[in-house]
Structure 1
Amino acid sequence: MQNNADTSGLMVAERRQHILAVLERDGKVVAAELSRAFGVSEDTIRRDLREMANEGLLQRVHGGGLPVSRVNPSFPARERQRPKAKEELARAAATLIKRGQVVFIDSGTTNVAVARLLPRDLEATVVTNSPPVAIALSEHPRVEVVLLGGRMRKDPLAAADGVTIAGVRQIRADLCYLGVCTIDPTFGVTTLDLDESYVKRAMVEASAEVVALVTADKLGTVSPYVVAPLSELTWLFTERGVSQEALAPYRAAGVTVTQDLEAEPA
C-alpha cells in the first residue's frame, strides 16, 4: 500500500503531465483555470508552474504558462528550414511595396527571400540592417540599398547596437518587413536577443505600416524580449494550414491576416 508521500508525489506528477497536455493543446495554461480543474489552490498551481519552468518544461508568465521558446539555430541552418513555405510567404508579401517607397527590411531568412523576390521593375529604397538582404538586392536594377551600420551579431547576421538604432531613427519608412522570431496574441512580437529587440522596435516606430511573415511554427510562441504588441502590425502573412481559431486573436487585434498559402509538409 502506498504511503501518503508516494500518493502525493503521484498526484503531482499526474497534474503536471496534464498541465503539459493542456499547454500542447491550447498553446497556454491559465493558473486560475487549472486551480478549478484540479480542485487545488492557485498557490499550488503557481508552484507547479514555477518548478516546471525551472526544469525547462514551460515558460512562466503572469497568470499562467506558455510553451518554451526554441533557441534559434544558426543563420545557415535556418535557411534550410522550410524553404518552400518561406518562399511562398515572401512571394505574396513582396507585392506590398509600391513605386518610390522607402522600406525597412529587417534581418531574417524569410526577409532575405522577400528581397530576392521583389519585382524586377520596382523602383524603391530599401533600408536594412542585414548584409544578406543587402547582398540579395545588390543585382536588383532599380532598388537603392541603404545598409545600416553598427556591430554585426554573428548569429542573425545583422547589425544591432546603438549605431544601428540611431540610423533607423533618421528615417521615416512607408513599410517595414519585420523579422519575427516568436509571436503570441497576448505578448505580441518577441525575440530572443535584447539588442535585436531594440532595433526591431525602432523600425516599427519609424514605419507607417508593418508586415510580419510568420510560418505556422512561430505562432503562439514567446521569447523573453518584447518588440511590439499585435496592434502595431498591419499585415500578418501565414500558411493555409493554420486554423481560423488560432488566427482569430490576431484579426481581433486589427491585423490583416493573409492566409492563401499552402502549408509545406513537415
Structure 2
Amino acid sequence: MQRTRQDAVDGLLPEERARLILERLRAQGRVLASELAAELQTSEHTVRRHLRELADQGHCKRVYGGALLISPSGKSASVRMGEAVDRKACLAVAAASIVRPRQIILLDAGSTNVAIAAALPDNADLTVVTNSPEACARLLNRQGFDIILIGGRITQNAAGSTGATALLQIQQIKPDLCFLGACAFDPDEGVAAFEAEDAELKRAMVKASSQVAIAMTSEKLMTAAPFSVAPACAVDYLFVEADVTAERRALLEAVCDNVMVTRS
C-alpha cells in the first residue's frame, strides 16, 4: 500500500525531521516554528530544538518565532568575484541607472559593487569614494571620475578597507548616494555582515549618506549574518533579480520604498 504524505510525516525519525526543516530553510530562507510544528505534526518545542541544533551547525540563525538561513556570502572575496558574474552585471546596470551627474557616490566593497563601478556612466562628473581597490581599478583611466580611495586594513573576506582609519575617513564625507555591500538582507532582521569591523564601517556609511542603495543576488535575500548593520527601512533602493517571487517582493516592498527588479 502506498503511504500518504500524512503517513510519511507521522512516521518521521528525528534526523528526517531535521533534514526536512533544513530543506525548507534553504527553499524559503525564513521558517516559523509554529508552521513547521503544524506541518510535521510535532510540538513547537521539538521544532525549536531542531532549529537550535541547525544553528549550532552554522546553517541558520535563530530569530523570534523561528529561524533564518545563514547567507552564503561568508566566502573569500576572490571566490565571490568569480560567482554569478552575468547576474551581477545585470544588477549593476540597473543600479547605475539611478546615478545622476555631479553626485558624490560612496561605493562599498563587494563583488556586485565592483560590477557597479564598471557600469557607472562616463563623463558624468562623478566623485566616487570607495574602500574597494577592485572598484577603484575599474574606474581608473575613464573620463569623468574623481576617485578617492579609502585607506585602512584590508581583510580577505571583505576585500576592502576596514578599521579605524577607514572609519574616520568615511565619517568626514557626505555622499549623495551610497551603494552599500550587504552580506544578508531580511525585511525583519535588516542588513547584516559577517565581520564586526566591516559591519561598523557599513553603519558609518549609512549614517553619512543621503540615500542608500543595495543590489543583491537572490540567494542573499531572506538570510542572516552575525553582525547587524541597519534596519531594512534604511535602504532607499533595493535592486533584486527577476526570480524573486511575488510573495517575497511584497515583503520587501513593505519595508523599502523602491524595490527594483532587474531583467536579464
Matching residue of 1:127: 129
Q: Which moved more, 1:76-85 or 1:195-204?
A: 76-85
CA distance in 1, matches of 2:242, 2:12: 41
> Structure 1 residue 148: deviation in Å?
1.2
Answer whether contact 2:150 2:166 (CA < 8 A) is retained: yes
Q: Residues 153 and 252 from structure 1, CA distance in 2 versus in 1: closer, same or farther, beyond 3 angstroms?
A: same
CA distance in 1, matches of 2:33, 2:229: 25
Structure 2's unaligned 5+ residue stretches are 1-9
Matching residue of 1:4: none
> Structure 1 residue 104: deviation in Å?
0.3
CA distance in 2, matches of 1:82, 1:15: 32
Q: Taking every aligned residue pair, what percent have the same amino acid on both sides?
A: 37
CA distance in 2, matches of 1:204, 1:85: 25
Q: Residues 57 and 204 from structure 1, CA distance in 2 versus in 1: closer, same or farther, beyond 3 angstroms?
A: closer
CA distance in 2, matches of 1:154, 1:58: 23
Relative contact order: is structure 1 or structure 2 higher (C-alpha 8 Å, sep ≥ 6)? 2
CA RMSD of aligned residues (A): 2.1
> Structure 1 residue 197: deviation in Å?
0.5
> Structure 1 residue 113: deviation in Å?
1.4
Answer whether contact 2:29 2:221 (CA < 8 A) is retained: no
> Structure 1 residue 83: deviation in Å?
0.9
When normalised by structure 2's length, the TM-score is: 0.88
Answer whether contact 1:238 1:261 (CA < 8 A) is retained: no
Structure 1's unaligned 5+ residue stretches are 1-7
Q: Secondary structure at the match of 1:96?
A: coil
Answer whether contact 2:71 2:183 (CA < 8 A) is retained: no
The alignment covers a number of residue pairs equal to: 255
Answer whether contact 2:73 2:183 (CA < 8 A) is retained: no
Matching residue of 2:181: 179
Matching residue of 1:5: none
1:211 to 210, 213, 219: 213
CA distance in 2, matches of 1:84, 1:14: 37
When normalised by structure 1's length, the TM-score is: 0.88
CA distance in 2, matches of 1:30, 1:47: 13
Q: Secondary structure at the match of 1:180?
A: coil
1:12-70 deviation per Cα after TM superposition (whole angstroms, max 9, x unaligned): 23432332243234322222333444554433332222123223443323321121332
CA distance in 2, matches of 1:128, 1:221: 26
Q: Residues 21 and 131 from structure 1, CA distance in 2 versus in 1: closer, same or farther, beyond 3 angstroms?
A: closer
